[in-house]
Structure 1
């Protein structure tokens, strides 16, 4: 039986389960909840095996049957995906978790994992006839979507807080995006985008986090790759820095799909959501056993990408934690910066602030006994450290030319 390029069948509401047409531009369900892409997994299971992927290109598009783009001619790519799994043996040993492994998303185009969601989201937007994409962002997502929109020949409207990393602002401008800076947080940027979309109907597809169904499909390829790179098995624990939570939701979705396909056996890995003590709505809700979070007041952290006071998909993040017997933990800025430097000194791996938060979380969870130290733990470094020069404040002494270097 010949498989189509994509086995996408329909969209389904993550909360109420209502079915939606996948072949027109869709945003939220009528109940206000995100939509998820669904696939013909029964047909796929009968016609495709993991071994069939071995000779495919080393990008996220190797999983095209599990992605929503129907026509290969609509694929938009800069070579994203198949990032390495890098052991961190010395740092892991130092904190009591010798089986520590980093999946390094800093090596994808635009320097962050956001390229995955942008590649698939922009490709599907073009396939559905959108003229442009519009979104609020904490920085990296805007840079990625602006870049991939340029690659696809679409317009991009991006709004971000004025405190977002400066390099992401420059990336958006270089890619020709219509860029707006706002005094406030990502929610304030979201209101500006909503006003622009309303003022110019028919031009922009709303690509805000989880307000369209396809960013998550790009992000889920991190979960697909982890399973494939480990020989079609799952690690014991996956630790993820959580702002909007799309990556964690996507990884969970990928693992569920792989299990239904029969490509992954046994229990799912325990998923861990990491936030900053300066913005930890998911952690607070998890500790209370709640299914949704309350907005976090006065949010602030050096890990700017996870500064999301209220995530639209918070209930999906929390469900993933509960279903996998996972956990949620908050770490301080001082901890994550110290652990970033300790890991760099021990193993030569330099993580972005958000990624470094996962190191602190592993250390804290080992200290608390939630981790025994025997587990294989995968942490996600979600971006290149070089995109955050403001997070490096230690300057070496400056020698005069007449000084003798010791």
Structure 2
């Protein structure tokens, strides 16, 4: 069941632009402001139209229900896609536009994105304009995603003409990304720093994988390798934040806020500074020194643009602090899942890279299983979305990798929910883990992560701190790879995955290493 929703007056009405503001409250206690003029139309949902289908009979990825909005101006703003809908045999929708608050509305004309059609609630299926900044779906308090017009993309760029493998970054996927770097109107918003296009490292000699007959590869998101792209902050978070900053620039947003366990804050700071935006980062004070130091140094160099708040003990408390102290000042929250699908779109590139043809080949294909360290779960949704889109474009079939989501046993909300057979997580007490990125006690997108795990035939797996530490030591001794503790946790899960028959002899398995161990020193020095 989606969370209960109540709309009522905000308790705090101070601050510019807040007069008449209302807040949407969901049953986890979070409150988000919405426009008071929007409330009436939230109370009546339009009839759900029949599913729009692609020419081959599969449901198109943009089907969903809609909420009406009156006014010619709103209709022009959010219904740029009249012809695209007509091609699918649907009546022209009046798409509902909503924002976090009027203070975030773009002040200038917004460039249309190449093939993005709208935003859509992950729970409600309701569609919204992609040209107005919003956070969670105002109907159910759940995240939204960006929806591409794949029918038009396939017609205008057949045979994957959007794909440019000569680029050594995530923008190689062109118009299949929410912004197409080959389109000058899109490209002017993008700040490309080399993110993405990371290597798959062969690890056939991993002891457990070798004994189990697995073809193991590690997706290396941390250290750079010759001939590939390089995530500038040595973390997979750069994929999401590159898209966040580009989309913020497109909408004219200049002030961004993010709560973080560390890497997301480091990444957003790097991209925001490069783009000339202001940013506030809230992170626990026990964040690894190199990560905290990067943000602190940026704040020292540019105090007018970068602010660092040390708030803990976890990302949850950091997020609450930003909502109370910085969102009222006009900062737009890009917390996990609480921006309008931007981080999902950036992380989608990870799934595209796992599917793209090997050099010299033309066939798109997927591994049999993906072992992924899962905190909030944005990457899980991004990869799944990538594969759905590739299937809709005819590049892969309906088979999917088993999604094996790894958590630390000291903070295992997904594991608890998966084992209990329930549809969403409950907040747990955060533990003490060396896998800082996994110390996430709950997540607003976890309901969707659980759904994906089950649809894929996968599982949520808990790994002990001792096993993670031992695996990190082993990899350093055997390979001299600077893998993160989160990546080590994925490799440490392999024995129990084999025991539970979630991995099988002869299968190609990809474990995702989300960052470099350098970012966790000196906390890991004793293990290396």
Fold shared by both chains (TM-score > 0.5): yes
Decide which moves more: 387-396 or 282-291: 387-396
Of residues 499, 504, 509 in structure 2, which corresponds to 1:377? Answer: 509
Q: Following TM superposition, by how much is the alpha carbon of 1:218 offset from its aligned partner in structure 2, in angstroms? A: 0.5
Runs of 4+ in 1 over 6 A off after TM superposition: none
- The residue aligned with 1:246 is 378
Instruction: Specify which of 400, 409, 434 is matched with residue 277 of structure 1.
Output: 409
CA contact (8 A) 1:90 1:347 kept: no
Alignment match, 1:148: 271
Matched, 1:257 2:389: yes
* Cα distance in 1 between the residues matched to 2:475 and 2:151: 43
User: Is residue 2:521 matched to residue 1:389?
Assistant: yes
Query: Partner residue of 2:289?
Result: 166
2:500 — aligned with what? 368
Deviation for aligned residue 1:97:
4.3
Q: CA deviation at 1:6?
A: 2.6
The match for 1:98 is 214
CA contact 1:114–1:144 (8 Å) conserved in 2: yes
Matched, 1:221 2:349: yes
Check conservation: 1:282, 1:328, Cα contact below 8 A.
yes
Task: Give the deviation of 1:339 after TM superposition.
Answer: 1.4
Contact preservation (8 Å) 2:483, 2:516: yes
Bigger relative contact order (CA 8 A; separation at least 6): 1
The offset of 1:320, in angstroms, is 0.7
Distance change >3 Å, CA 161–CA 23, structure 1 → 2: same
Deviation of the 1:221 alpha carbon: 0.4
1:125 to 238, 248, 254: 248
The answer to whether the 8 A contact 1:8-1:66 is kept is: no
| Alignment match, 2:197 | 82
| Mapped pair 1:58 → 2:201 | no
Give SS of 1:89's match.
coil
Change (3 A) 1:251 1:339: same
Deviation at 1:55?
4.7
Cα separation, 1, equivalents of 2:127 and 2:188: 27
Which region of structure 1 is more displaced relative to structure 2, 63-72 or 28-37? Answer: 63-72
Residues 52 and 26 (structure 1 numbering): CA distance in 2 closer, same or farther, change over 3 Å? closer
After TM superposition, the structure 1 stretch with the greater mean CA deviation from structure 2, 58-67 or 92-101, is: 92-101
Query: C-alpha distance in 2, partners of 1:195/1:29?
Result: 20
1:307-335 alpha-carbon deviations (Å, 9 max, x no partner):
11011100111011011111110001110
Q: For the aligned residues, what is the CA RMSD?
A: 1.8
What is the CA distance between 1:67 and its match in structure 2?
Answer: 2.2
| Equivalent in the alignment of 2:137 | 29
How many positions carry a matched residue from both structures? 391
1:52 offset after TM fit, Å?
Answer: 5.3
CA contact (8 A) 2:164 2:173 kept: no
CA distances 1:20-46 after superposition (whole Å, capped 9, x unpaired) = 110111111112110100001111122
Contact 2:165 2:172 in 1 (8 A): no
- In the other structure, the counterpart of 2:320 is 191
TM-score by length of 1: 0.92
Q: TM-score, normalised by structure 2?
A: 0.71
Contact 2:314 2:430 survives alignment (8 Å) = no
- In the TM superposition, what whole-angstrom CA distance separates every residue of 1:166-202 from its partner, at most 9, and x where no partner exists? 111111123332000024211110111111234313x
How far apart, CA to CA, are the structure 1 residues paired with 2:481 and 2:206? 10
Match of 1:180 in 2: 309
Considering only CA atoms, is the larger Rg found in Structure 1 or Structure 2? 2
In the alignment, structure 1 segments of 5+ residues that lack a partner are 397-406
Residue 260 of structure 1, CA deviation: 1.0
- Alignment match, 2:61: none
- Looking at structure 2, the residues matched to 251 and 258 of structure 1 have their Cα atoms a distance apart, in angstroms, of 11
Gapped runs of 5+ residues in structure 2? 1-111, 180-184, 224-230, 300-305
Aligned pair partner of 2:149 in 40, 53, 66: 40
Cα distance per residue 1:218-263 (max 9 Å; x no partner): 0110000110155410000011000011111111111111111111
